[in-house]
Structure 1
Amino acid sequence: MDPLTAVSLAANIVQFVEFSCKLVTSSGDFLQSTTGRLPEHDEVNLIAESLKSLHEKTVCLSTVSLDLGRLNKHEKRLLPLREACLKVADELIDILEGLRVSGSQKRWKSVRAALLSTLKEKRVRELESRLLKLQAQIDSRVIEDIRKQQSEILQLLRKQTRLGGTSLQVTRNLSSLVDTVQSTFDGLRSRLDLVDVADRVNQAHTKALEQSILISLDYDLRISRRQAIKPAYPDTFRWIFEDQNASGEPITFVKWLQNKSGVYWITGKPGSGKSTLMKCIWSQYDTQQGLKKWSQGETVITAWFFFWNSGTAMQKSLEGLLRSMLIQILDQCPELIPEAFSLRWEALLATRSYATTQPLWSLQELLDSFRTITKQASMKAKFCFFIDGLDEYEGTDKELVEIIDSFNSSENLKFCLSSRPHASFRKAYGDDPRTVLHVPKLTDGDIRLYVRISLDENTAFQDMKKRYPDRCKQLVEGIVNDANGVFLWVHLVVSRLLDGIEINKDRMGDLERKFRCIPKELDDLFCHIMESVDHDYHELQANMFRVACDAEEPLDLMAYYFMDSEDTDSALKMPVEPLAFDVVREKQETMAVRVSVRSKGLLEVFEDPMSHHFRSLKVQLLHRTFRDFILDKHMQDFIRRRSAPNLNPLRSICLALLAELKTYLFHHHDPVRTCHQLRLLDSLLHYALEMELTEGASPNDVLAEARSILPELPRLPRGDHRHLYEEWLLFKDLVGDSESKSTSSDPFVEFATCRGLAHFPLSCMEQSKPTGARLDEILWASVQRRKISDHEPVLNPDVVKMLLDMGADPGPGWNSFLSSDWWALGGADVEKALFYVTKLFLEYNVHVSDPSMIRAKIVGFSRGDIEEIDWLIQTHSSRPKAAFQRLPFKWKRWASNLTRW
């Protein structure tokens, strides 16, 4: 019984005893209605129902986690009280049921008189005596016992508070409630105080359950894209809240904001500033004021999402969009959580636990929950959603349009969207000029302001302006005219000119010649900038571009620092030696200069405030437009030829992550951020898997070094100070029950297997020879789709074959595979993996209890794959089996082991 349940049970016992004592001892009227006395039979009915309710609550709370072996002495003292209450309740309910029948024909001065009318006075006094004894026990024991559990209760609630981070409103509310719980505990003196304590604890418990749902929706780097977008330059984009801009171009955004529902589409060519404008809209007070007029006094719920093609899988997927929107909506309206996630909520209530590791979110569940919430529009609130970068979504434009249209079904719900002018978006959103805004048509004034102020802030240019005012003005106007509304082009051009002034001490004529030579198209400008780098840095520049292209998310600046080492394998040789903050900062500053000099701004360093200081500075490709340019096949061939001959970007990333792991320093006072160590390990395994899948080879030496250093890493700030190596044992749902592990169990190797790696685990398991039971558990976990970070899980048929070849029993793994979330996913890669894994299990003669279920699952496979699986199913029972195959599986495994070892 957890301490929260114990408090609730104790409070319920108090309420029951107090109610029953009043019932038995009261000489006057027990209950009155608001308008006068209740008729006697109504009073008896009400008392009987109240007593039944208290009885049911006591029974319900008594059955929650009632494992006698795990109860402490304080909780065990509640059990006799509970039993005594239940006995008294049964007796009183029976008596009151009898009074219900006769109550309409008799009148009593009190309920006690009614009891005396059917029972002897001795029986009534005996009930009274038992209840008074229960009161005495509560006074003498229960209150003190609950006070002794105060620290455990507060510790449990405060631990949950720390998990949420400060960005969630529900966490701040929970923190406030926990403070209230503590002050209520401090005032615990009487039985009635205990009821108040339980009420406060239950409020905090409910808030903690809400928070646990939101935490499970959250993911790494959820808000980093919005933070990475540079804020609008001072005094730019202010026209969005006007009826027209300085040139007289009409602007309809405010009218839509204040009066209309539906979709408002912001569009423009690449690099025109759409994301900057969307960030400006989202963060401005004017937006909230406009929505307030639209809502006409109703609550307005807002949420945003910025798709990012250069980011993690979650940052460019529908799952990422839905989880981000849901967490924002429900943080503002937590009362919608039980309705949006009814099954999860009921499961949490049933266990009275916070279940920080909840079942994986399926896309269908997220879609259903979002639809449930949007249906609340007009009933409970109005909703306005801001979604940037529709063209950066990983799926098709048409698919995203259809999804948004399926939600946009209420006059009390609206979407502000931005994208490039792709055909699907023009068709869906471009017909009504009142709800479309073309950014490049409106930014000439902003570009002129940006260019003028950026140049004017340079003292050398100020001197030129005094000497050559007309030439300086022509230079500014030339930039504005050639920009064609593309802010990115302007930013790069101005940066080039300022570099010339500050570094090369360019004269006015030099600036004019340089500007005339600058290409007017972005792709040509990118080539121009790359070629302008000193020849000595061409190889280093290409190395960084190749790494940035292969990385699935912006890597830490420290990772680039370690990759920049002259000894490419230095990470394998360095000791485990955490770096102090000032040393890290010095190395970051050094590498930031190198990135700037070698890339000339095409790679940019930005800060992620949600990360630990060691990982707060990250490196990304300048813009989606540059990413599209550098990923072009011709450019990939070009930078591959220019880069170091032996460069393997994926291996370089793995080595850099290993170096980060060895030098990472966490703060003991900040336990939430220590999970960055585990994330580093998970990222290392992920990129090792990418290397294995794309190149057919795994960085075994890097993984072996990571495996060997885990016991040496600094201890985590937990109460028992377990080593990080032992943290792998916490993944019991991934690698089986830790109690069944043999002493030779290797959590790192097992976890690597579950993450989809085959080459490295095979080499390790051939030496360690895991037991058959461990192989069964690893196979069971390897075919589950378990997601513990932003990196997508991988179903690798090579892992399944490896484990089956080593003697794993296919039965448990087959059942796990059939019930996994893999079958709910789409995509050609997943479908092919499902086919090969299904084929493997059938070829290993797994027992097929329901062929029709298998056929139903593979209905989406290609015709050839369906026919092959169907043939394996049909011939499964009729295929002749060798004597070896007919042996019981444990004997087959034993015989197999003889041949292996």
Structure 2
Amino acid sequence: MAEAISAFGLAASILQVIDFSSNVVAKFWKFYRTTSDRSNECPDINSINSDLCRIVKDLQSSSDTSNNDAPLWKLARECQTAAEELQKILQSLLVAHSTTTSRKWNALKAAFRAVWKDEEIQSLRDRLERFKSQLILNLLCSIRESAQSSVEQQKELLQQMKAIQLNTDQIGSSVECLNTELLDSDGLGSLLLDFVTAKVASPNRRETNQWLRSEVVAAICRDSQDAAVVEHSSPSIPSWRENRLKDLFLTQLRYTLMEDREERIAEAYGNTFRWVFEDTTGDRQKWSNFKDWLAQGSGKSTLIKYICHEDTEMELTGEDSCAVLPMRCSRYLRQWARNCRLITAKFFFWNSGTALRMTQAGLFRTILAQILDQAPDVTAMAMPKRWEALCLFGEHTTLNHDWTEQELRNSLLSVTRALQHDTRLCLFVDGLDEFDGNHNSLISLFKEICATSSVKLCVASRPWVIFEDGFKHKPSLRLQDLTYPDIKLYISSHFIDDEGFALLLQRERAYAEQLIENIIEKAAGVFLWVTLVVTSLLRGMGHGDRISDLQTRLDALPPELEQLYDKMLYSLDPFYLEHAAQYFQLIRTTLHPLKVLSLGYADEEHSWSAAIMRPVSPITTSEATLLHETMRRRINSRCKGLLEISAAEKYIFQGLKRQDGTVSTEDNQELQHCTVQYLHRTVKDYIESDGAQKMLNSAIKSPYDPHLHLCASTLATLKTDQPITILDVHAGRFWGYVEEFLYHASRILPTNSLQMVEMMDDLNGTCACLARRKADEPSIVAYRDCKLLESGQWLALQHEGTLLGASSAHFLSLAVCYGIVGYVERRASKGCLVQTIEFRDTSKDSLSDGGVRNKNTPALVKAKINLHGRSELGELHHVHSLLLDAINRPTWKERLIVPTWKEHLTVPDPVMVACLLRKGANPNFPFLSGTVWDAVLRAVRAAIPYGLIHDTKLTWLQIVKMLLEFGAGEFVKFQRSKLLLDLEKVIQSAHLSARGLPLDFSGHWTSFCRDVGINKWPAPNQPYSITISTRGTVEAW
């Protein structure tokens, strides 16, 4: 244990050196690159040198007590050598500072640069980055070793660390964090990292701790150990915490509306589909030929749901008594499973639902969640790296929702292999034709899963050739050949329950019975067609139609679904046709299944004005009920069954109403999440066809912008949907609403830009209002969070990479990132600079890192109180260029589906770049890592190795040209060669149609400059310009 304490103490000293040295290098790099002439920008070399001497002395003291052969000790020696080199450089800078006769800004920088050159700074930065990587790996090894000890030993280790800190001057939040009571909630890894970061300077400690934790977790994910090794070395945790983490793992695996598709599928009517479990009779084949596969609308999804539905008649015994209620098929599968554990899982692909309902990722997460719910003992084996991170860091792990498709696929295969010895697994997957991806990959996956005899798989699809070929050697059935009795039962039951048909049966029994047979014959086994036709005929019976009228009505209905939809669409009430067309546009444009309430907000005549005027307050139960009922009536009257409200909504209204007809308050949350979608996949296909779209578009007489109304709807939903947790960046709906609003705002027609600007302003105000309300909650104790919330700085609380990535926490930055040009044109000031405030505690000796709200302190005074009783609050003001946000823009599509390694392929929006340049944005504006122009060059150089499509290359070239024309690349003499090299890399893969310039620009730079129209290189400190002349045309890279 002493060795472990020594190792973590040494790691803390190493981290202190790396953190401090990195900050020093960053300060001087910024000092060299800035064009400012303010003397206070010069780093305080005396103070830096004094602090560095203290830190190096601490490192020497820690390394003297460590094992000289350990990798961590060797890293400490390397860090000490680098720190001593930095000390020598600082000494030389002190001499240069004292001997510089001129106190002019440029002279001082030149004197410093003569001592510490650019390449030397970069070399030190590279070494420090390498030290960071080595420290992360060594820390991971030490944390793993400590985590494998018993829980009692872990607590003893933390107690000894706490005692060490109490005996030093490191009194503060780190001591509180080392409380052993936090071991069960935060995890051993979090507490050990709190100890390691305790020596880091207070202003940077919180950020450093978060960075270190994310890097250690990332190192766990990169670990090349196989599942068996990691599972064997899982951290030691109490059994009760293990169960809680398994529940947390399942919660993270699940996603919103995971069961929505199944809930929407119609229940099997009465005794229909019971034949699937009956023995084969002489007149019915158990399996038909595969070429006669399933027809669309024949009830495949209903059959799969029937098979998978809970068997309320089955008695639970043995292991099943601890599981979820078994499916109807379980009693028959039990004969196959025999003495093995039986697990069943199901998934319904659906291209009208959320994005996950159409992907393999959704399939994997749903199936895995159901399997692990029934077999929690294989959770660690499913995703050993995630499990280890969860055990070490608890809910603080940054992996919560970054699921990759390959990781999920490997996990499912690992689980099936782990279960094959003592478990039998049966999977049901419906709607393969609604899968949005590579169908061959899906077929290969199913074949790989079924490679073992311990797995059975039942799939359903439309009769697509690719599935016929993929499963041609597997048994199959043709559903429409087996549903005759079910269809007859459905029709008869609905007709007999109708008073009009009962009278008809009394008058003309023979004709009435023949009508049923005629419907069955015309249906050709398509259950969906039957349900639509029965509804139409019952409507006629209610009007007192004669048998001949009903037969005429039946004959007029086309036998094909598409033709039937055609007739339904063209028979819509002309008075409501335009309104119906607007509904279809909204459903087609929305990113996610549209909530009933949201459709109601979008359906208001002046939706944008209503959304702005709406107060920030949860919708009441009575208001929600009234709006639901209103929209139900409108949908039914306008769309005639082509759109429907979710089954959940029907359940609420039919099963949860009180006797007085109202909905209880506890059901209000369910009521708010009911959605409106197409009746069936075939309806969606039909409505999105060219013919239907042409008809619907012609029905809309006045200009209609669905993005405008959906934007207003999202704003209204954000104001009325509760609870909204502004700090919950993973599972909360808040950031999802903001993102969806911005998506639609960026696509609003220019003619509606005024309304868009007003809604954008209201969104910012609404989010600031929610932030201020959050500040009063007792759960917010961090000083920084309190101050940000109180000041309405809601964007500063966004999760890294959620909305802005590396850009500033300013609302205009958000508008730039999402390409909302109209808003930026009206709200950005000249120069396109924005200012943000960062709240930090400036007290040197603090009671806690980042500040803690004292329970006895008034609500408006959330100050940081140091050991001397003084409150020292720091507000750091940062100036940021919006042009940098335009260059580093994270696009909507890429953040949803493009892997992390392609993030640098994000291409800026030339229209936004041009807008900012016209408003005076400076491409040479400096920031920590250089200038905006430097950022462009880095982005292009990073993108070239991965290959760029033609349009992307031209976009980058257009942006480079614009920036150069507006003065990008201002430089002094010593930078000239580096700039030339950068420009060559930007265009080195181009060729000039007039000259055919070779890719190697050596010796050809002069002619190239002449061909593209670059002016003669200017004198130092003067900008240059470039124009693409008509003589030489730069074509695709």
| TM-score (normalizing by structure 1) | 0.65
- How far off is 1:243 after superposition? 2.5
Q: Secondary structure at the match of 1:734?
A: coil
Q: Secondary structure at the match of 2:518?
A: helix
**Which residue of the partner structure matches residue 482 of structure 1?**
522
> Pick from 402, 408, 417: which aligns with 1:366?
408
Q: Which amino acid aligns with 1:782?
A: P
> Pick from 795, 820, 833: which aligns with 1:728?
795
- How far off is 1:482 after superposition? 1.3
Contact 1:309 1:393 in 2 (8 A): yes
Please give the alpha-carbon distance, in whole angstroms, between the structure 1 residues aligned to 2:997 and 2:487.
66
Between 686-695 and 267-276, report the one with greater CA deviation.
686-695
- Aligned residue runs from structure 1 range 320-331, under 5 A: 320-331=362-373
- Aligned residue runs from structure 1 range 272-287, under 5 A: 272-284=298-310, 285-287=327-329
> Pick from 800, 809, 819: which aligns with 2:932?
809
| 1:575-600 deviation per Cα after TM superposition (whole angstroms, max 9, x unaligned) | 32533111111111011011001111
| Cα gap change, 1:238 to 1:576, in 2 (>3 Å) | same
Task: Report whether the alignment pairs 1:524 with 2:563.
Answer: yes
Q: Secondary structure at the match of 1:305?
A: strand
Q: Secondary structure at the match of 2:801?
A: helix
Q: Secondary structure at the match of 2:362?
A: helix
> Pick from 470, 478, 481: which aligns with 1:441?
481
Please give the alpha-carbon distance, in whole angstroms, between the structure 1 residues aligned to 2:1016 and 2:408.
50
Task: Report whether the alignment pairs 1:544 with 2:583.
Answer: yes
| 1:390-420 deviation per Cα after TM superposition (whole angstroms, max 9, x unaligned) | 1112235444324433444323233211100
Between 667-676 and 751-760, report the one with greater CA deviation.
667-676
> Pick from 681, 684, 688: which aligns with 2:745?
688
> Pick from 547, 550, 553: which aligns with 1:514?
553
| 1:274-329 deviation per Cα after TM superposition (whole angstroms, max 9, x unaligned) | 11111222224332233333233333443322111222322212333233333333
- Aligned residue runs from structure 1 range 241-390, under 5 A: 241-244=277-280, 248-251=283-286, 267-284=293-310, 285-348=327-390, 351=393, 354-356=396-398, 358=400, 360-379=402-421, 381-390=423-432
Contact 1:576 1:713 in 2 (8 A): no
| 1:538-571 deviation per Cα after TM superposition (whole angstroms, max 9, x unaligned) | 2112221222223343211122222332335443
**Which residue of the partner structure matches residue 473 of structure 1?**
513
- Aligned residue runs from structure 1 range 392-791, under 5 A: 392-432=434-474, 435-502=475-542, 504-506=543-545, 508-567=547-606, 569-571=608-610, 573-578=612-617, 579-608=619-648, 612-613=669-670, 615-666=672-723, 675-689=732-746, 699-713=756-770, 715-716=773-774, 719-720=779-780, 722=789, 726-734=793-801, 747-755=810-818, 757=820, 760-761=823-824, 763-766=826-829, 769-770=833-834, 771-772=879-880, 776=884, 779-780=887-888, 782=890, 787=895
Q: Secondary structure at the match of 2:364?
A: helix
- How far off is 1:217 after superposition? 3.9
Between 638-647 and 553-562, report the one with greater CA deviation.
553-562
Q: Secondary structure at the match of 2:646?
A: strand
Q: Secondary structure at the match of 1:733?
A: coil
- How far off is 1:240 after superposition? 1.4
Contact 1:762 1:802 in 2 (8 A): no
- How far off is 1:512 after superposition? 3.6
Q: Which runs of 5+ in 2 are unaligned?
A: 17-60, 69-156, 168-174, 191-234, 311-326, 650-666, 781-785, 835-878, 924-930, 970-977, 1025-1037
Please give the alpha-carbon distance, in whole angstroms, between the structure 1 residues aligned to 2:242 and 2:646.
38
Q: Which amino acid aligns with 2:577?
A: H
Q: Which amino acid aligns with 1:423?
A: V
> Pick from 766, 777, 797: which aligns with 2:907?
797
Please give the alpha-carbon distance, in whole angstroms, between the structure 1 residues aligned to 2:899 and 2:566.
32
Q: Which amino acid aligns with 1:769?
A: L
Please give the alpha-carbon distance, in whole angstroms, between the structure 2 residues aligned to 1:820 and 1:348.
34
Contact 1:388 1:419 in 2 (8 A): yes
- How far off is 1:443 after superposition? 0.6
Task: Report whether the alignment pairs 1:221 with 2:257.
Answer: yes
Contact 1:312 1:790 in 2 (8 A): no
Contact 1:728 1:748 in 2 (8 A): yes
| Cα gap change, 1:696 to 1:704, in 2 (>3 Å) | closer
| Cα gap change, 1:533 to 1:887, in 2 (>3 Å) | farther
> Pick from 253, 270, 295: which aligns with 1:234?
270
Q: Which amino acid aligns with 1:390?
A: L
Contact 1:241 1:286 in 2 (8 A): no
| Cα gap change, 1:671 to 1:542, in 2 (>3 Å) | same
Contact 2:711 2:745 in 1 (8 A): yes
- How far off is 1:151 after superposition? 8.0
Please give the alpha-carbon distance, in whole angstroms, between the structure 2 residues aligned to 1:697 and 1:60.
61
| Cα gap change, 1:148 to 1:875, in 2 (>3 Å) | closer
| TM-score (normalizing by structure 2) | 0.58
Contact 2:268 2:306 in 1 (8 A): yes
Between 662-671 and 211-220, report the one with greater CA deviation.
662-671
Higher helix fraction: Structure 1 or Structure 2? Answer: 1
Between 696-705 and 320-329, report the one with greater CA deviation.
696-705
Q: Which amino acid aligns with 1:329?
A: I
Q: Secondary structure at the match of 2:615?
A: coil
- How far off is 1:445 after superposition? 0.8
Q: CA RMSD in A?
A: 5.5
- How far off is 1:619 after superposition? 0.8
Q: Which amino acid aligns with 1:306?
A: F
Contact 1:310 1:552 in 2 (8 A): no
Q: Which amino acid aligns with 2:306?
A: C
Please give the alpha-carbon distance, in whole angstroms, between the structure 1 residues aligned to 2:990 and 2:445.
31
Contact 1:621 1:627 in 2 (8 A): yes
| Cα gap change, 1:61 to 1:584, in 2 (>3 Å) | farther
Q: Secondary structure at the match of 2:732?
A: helix
| Cα gap change, 1:405 to 1:818, in 2 (>3 Å) | farther
Aligned length: 712
| Cα gap change, 1:539 to 1:589, in 2 (>3 Å) | same
- How far off is 1:676 after superposition? 3.0
- How far off is 1:647 after superposition? 1.4
Please give the alpha-carbon distance, in whole angstroms, between the structure 1 residues aligned to 2:824 and 2:249.
34
Q: Which runs of 5+ in 1 are unaligned?
A: 1-53, 69-82, 91-130, 161-198, 254-262, 825-829, 894-901
Identity of aligned pairs, percent?
Answer: 24
Please give the alpha-carbon distance, in whole angstroms, between the structure 1 residues aligned to 2:290 and 2:340.
21
| 1:643-662 deviation per Cα after TM superposition (whole angstroms, max 9, x unaligned) | 24311223222222223233
Please give the alpha-carbon distance, in whole angstroms, between the structure 1 residues aligned to 2:939 and 2:456.
42
| 1:818-866 deviation per Cα after TM superposition (whole angstroms, max 9, x unaligned) | 8899979xxxxx9567656765787779989999xx99xx9xxxx9999
Please give the alpha-carbon distance, in whole angstroms, between the structure 1 residues aligned to 2:778 and 2:470.
53
Q: Which amino acid aligns with 1:450?
A: Y
| Cα gap change, 1:658 to 1:271, in 2 (>3 Å) | same
Please give the alpha-carbon distance, in whole angstroms, between the structure 2 residues aligned to 1:313 and 1:694.
31
